[in-house]
Amino acid sequence: MRKEEVVKILEEKVDWVSILRKMTFGGYNEKVIIWDDGSIGSLDPSTYFQDETHILGCLRAPGMGNLDDTPYLDGWGKLEDGKFSTDDGRMLTYEEALEESIVMGEWEDTYIEWRRQIMEEWEEEATASAMRE
């Protein structure tokens, strides 16, 4: 696969909101896989592939206990009972507040960084593969 094709897949076919959701709610070190057709999946950290030729990239979820929730919850009012208040007076649980932030927040910088990481991984693998041939 050529670099231009990989870039096009990452920019046009990958559902970055779904990846953000998997990265946010996934278990510790869970693998979020991006396939060469733009689809995504997730795997247990102990699962490995024999054939990785159809994988464009892999991100690893930090796990809820290690999640830096600052970019998700910045500006939200947290109440003593652990709930979060919205500007329109709704009360949300921690998970509901994270989900609303995923849907309503500005995450383009995060997506750009993930695309950069995936392209870097892909280029390293393409170089290593060319050297093996």
Q: How many domains does the chain have?
A: 1
pLDDT band at 51 (very low <50, low <70, confident <90, very high): low
Q: What is the pLDDT averaged over residues 39-51?
A: 80
pLDDT at site 44: 82
In this predicted model, which residue has the larger pLDDT, 51 or 75? 75
pLDDT band at 50 (very low <50, low <70, confident <90, very high): low
pLDDT at site 8: 95
pLDDT at site 132: 78
Domain of 87, in residue numbers:
3-132
What single letter denotes the amino acid at residue 45? P
